[in-house]
Amino acid sequence: MATSTRGLAVDSNILISAALGRRVRNIFRRFHGEITFWAPEACRRDARRRIPEICRKHGLDEKAALEFLDDVQKVVSFVGPVTYANQEQNARERIQSRDPDDWPVLATALALDLPLWTEDRDFFGCGVATWITNNIEIYLRGN
């Protein structure tokens, strides 16, 4: 299944960054409508699980971060396994030696034929264009 507009598969660490800070949140807001952001539901669950600990460790507002995560569905389209199931085996093979738990986001990128936005180096070399936040606006601007 290919998307009809430009898009990006988004990893859970990007969702966490958006919930905890301004930079990624502003990128989402700025490009929403021009770019479709996609993430497997597993990434939202992972972010929800990790945010409380990060907030406690760094003295951040956990309630505000989790509220943002609840609202992020206005900007990010979350998909279930039916969307990427046909790429599960392929994704597992590509990511297994690095972090086997990351296969759903890689499978989403493969199924929707999208590049991936992450800060996780485990995705580098998996055969999918991988962007980090420092360079993501180059892709988003279409350069």
Neighbours of 115 (CB within 10 A): 16
pLDDT tens digits for the chain (143 residues)? 444 468 999 999 999 999 998 999 999 999 998 899 999 999 999 999 999 999 999 999 999 999 999 888 889 999 999 999 999 999 999 987 777 688 999 999 999 999 999 998 888 888 999 999 999 999 998 86
Cα–Cα dist 126/18, whole Å: 24
What does pTM read for this prediction?
Answer: 0.90
DSSP 55-112: HHHHT--HHHHHHHHHHGGGTEEEE-HHHHGGGHHHHHHHHTTT-GGGHHHHHHHHHH
Domains of the chain: residue spans and CATH: 7-140 (3.40.50.1010)
Closest Cα partner for 79 from 40, 30, 128? 40
One-letter identity of residue 23: R
Model pLDDT, residue 5: 65
